[in-house]
């Protein structure tokens, strides 16, 4: 078993702040969307304030990972060769569905050059470079409705369409967060993913 220093302090701090803001955004978003006005999870006006403030802070925090990926070696782990990665993703999916329950070793263990397995690499890249920008653009547009220059689209108002995009992407990101936490619990050695975000060192099986 060896250790690889994958997570410098700036990544660990970014990740911790990101997780806290995500949880607050999910809680306040659900409170605004589904709460009984007479018995809310969080009082509506307070939930709106929490959601807006956390959304602004998350936008700022997001810029850290983008700048960091551009100027540090962390960005190379998000580079994808789509032609080669397709078959690797199927192998990794088979492992998640069957292999790990049979005690098989992961087909793509962590190494100095490979921080993410093929499915992680694609999902993280989609989240960081597609879904996060979508939720920020829609969120800022809802915060400042005058930014929405399309008044009507697909038979509904521009603001309703923007709100729908925001809710759908928020739901997808919430599901991603649950899956992300789950996959951390099945990492080998057990608990290594959580320890890595505290110490910066990733423990390998070899």
Predicted local confidence at residue 206, as pLDDT: 56
Report how far residue 53's alpha carbon sits from residue 50's, in angstroms, rounded to the nearest whole number: 5
Beta bridge pairs of residue 201? 5
Q: Is 112 exposed, middle or buried (0-12, 13-18, 19+ CB in 10 A)?
A: exposed
Hey, where are the domains in the chain? Answer: 3-203
- Say if residues 152 and 128 touch (Cβ distance below 8 Å): no
Predicted local confidence at residue 52, as pLDDT: 96
Instruction: Quote the percentage of the chain above a pLDDT of 70.
Output: 94
**Which range, 22-36, 162-176, 181-195, is most confident?**
162-176
Instruction: Name the token pair of 174.
Output: 């919430």
> What is the fold, at CATH topology level, of the domain defined by 3-203?
Fumarate Reductase Cytochrome B subunit (1.20.950)
What are the DSSP E strand ranges found in the chain? 3-5, 152-153, 156-157, 201-203
Predicted local confidence at residue 9, as pLDDT: 94
């Amino acid at each position: 078993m060896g250790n690889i220093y994958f997570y410098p302090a700036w990544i660990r701090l970014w990740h911790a702040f990101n997780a806290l803001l995500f949880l607050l955004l999910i809680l306040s978003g659900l409170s605004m969307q589904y709460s009984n006005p007479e018995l809310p999870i969080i009082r509506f006006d307070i939930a709106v304030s929490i959601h807006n403030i956390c959304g602004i802070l998350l936008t700022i925090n997001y810029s850290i990972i983008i700048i960091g990926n551009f100027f540090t070696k962390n960005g190379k782990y998000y580079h994808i060769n789509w032609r080669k990665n397709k078959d690797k993703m199927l192998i990794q999916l088979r492992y998640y569905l069957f292999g790990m329950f049979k005690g098989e070793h992961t087909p793509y263990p962590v190494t100095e050059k490979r921080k993410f397995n093929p499915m992680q690499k694609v999902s993280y890249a989609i989240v960081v470079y597609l879904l996060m920008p979508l939720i920020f653009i829609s969120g800022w547009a809802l915060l400042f409705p005058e930014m929405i220059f399309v008044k009507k689209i697909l038979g509904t108002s521009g603001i309703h369409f923007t709100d729908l995009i925001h809710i759908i992407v928020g739901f997808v990101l919430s599901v991603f967060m649950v899956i992300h936490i789950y996959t951390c619990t099945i990492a080998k050695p057990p608990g290594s993913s959580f320890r890595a975000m505290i110490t910066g060192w990733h423990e390998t099986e070899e």
